[in-house]
Homo-oligomer: A and B are copies of this chain.
Amino acid sequence: MINDIEVIKTKSSKINEVDFDNLKFGSVFSDHMLVCDYKNGKWQAPKVMPYQGITLDPSAKIFHYGQSVFEGMKAYKDAEDNVWLFRPLDNCKRLNISSKRLAIPELPEDYFMEGLKALLEVDKDWIPKKDGSSLYIRPFVFASGEGFHASPADEYKFLICTAPSGSYFSGEVKVLIEEKYSRSANGGVGFAKAGGNYAGQFYPTQLAKEKGYQQVIWTDDNTHEYIEEAGAMNIFVRINDTLITGPTSDRILDGITRKSIIELAKAEGINVDVRKLRVDEVVEAAKNGSLKEMFGAGTAAVISPIAGFGYKGEDYDLPKMDDTYANFLKKRITDIQTNKAEDPFGWRYKL
């Protein structure tokens, strides 16, 4: 059990340079960061220190073998300046699930939780209050150990950095259902928040953008007949009044927003069906008018409604509706996150 976390405060805060009314996503960083080193076979004591550059040997394995995992979380400030997190222990547990698959040593949970609390305590003035804004939190682990040998590193760094942020996406999202490229393999690392999963998406997403889409809907790599994820988010499809999302697997991320939406929707009396979803079925539903909504779900955007999709050269528009599950569930979930509503699920975590 970790007791006191050493805190080295910055001598010159940058907070007055930041325009909190016009924040982008994840591009301004708070004054401090948490750093914890793994060496000599164990995680050393985490430390809060001024946000600063990291110096690594050119042979550090992160540069060569992609041995890294990360998490995404948010902190919110309510009207009384209380600070709230959302299911933070789930992020900690998932970080370790990801780490295990990437052969990275798992981190003691209290290093994560106590380190996070100490960091947010120091940088609490960086948590924005404006509606829709939050402090985006990025815990990550990477291989700092050295050598040009394709094997797990003997040293790692765990960091938590934070960035006061506005909304992730803006505007209507048109997506392309992918027929060629894939995000993950059976028996691969798709379920982990591994760095390499994201880099592999960039090029197919660029190609989709050139065709006028903002994101790719990933399908299974073998047949491309099943819907798996939406960009870097989980995906939900509403056919008639049923909300459908694929089951988690070794290919699909066990999203915290995803599982919260499933639980919340069920509690609200919405019919939720967790099952494999064929592309054909979605196309057919679009044609016969039973396809009401599609949306991505993830920490950064919470819920990102999809306005239409392309598949095999055809474009399909989704209906414009006033009362969507997406809007309803996004408001419910953000109200819980920001302490504007009761939290019957015990998800909210007071700092």
Q: Which of A24-32, A123-131, A266-274 contacts B (4 or more CB under 8 A)?
A: A24-32
Does A163 lie at the interface of the complex (its beta carbon under 8 Å from any beta carbon of B)? yes
Quick one: closest B residue to A159, CB to CB? B58
What's the number of copies of this chain in the assembled complex? 2
Which residues in window 27-84 of A have CB below 8 A to B?
27, 29, 33, 51-59, 62-68, 70, 72
Q: How far is the CA of A140 from the CA of B184 in the complex (A)?
A: 24
B63 pairs with A66, CB closer than 8 A: no
**Among candidates B53, B186, B188, residue contacting A200 with C-beta atoms closer than 8 Å:** B188
Known pairs A25-B149, A102-B203. 20 more at Cβ < 8 A?
A26-B147, A26-B148, A26-B149, A33-B58, A59-B138, A59-B161, A64-B138, A64-B195, A66-B194, A72-B148, A101-B203, A103-B206, A152-B202, A152-B206, A182-B185, A183-B188, A185-B188, A186-B222, A189-B199, A194-B196
Instruction: Return the 10 tightest CB-CB contacts between A and B, nearest first.
Output: A196-B196, A66-B195, A26-B148, A103-B202, A66-B196, A185-B185, A182-B187, A185-B221, A65-B198, A67-B199
Residue numbers of A with Cβ under 8 A of B are 25-27, 29, 33, 51-59, 62-68, 70, 72, 100-103, 136, 138, 140, 142-143, 146-152, 159, 161, 163, 178, 180-189, 194-203, 205-206, 221-222, 224, 231-232
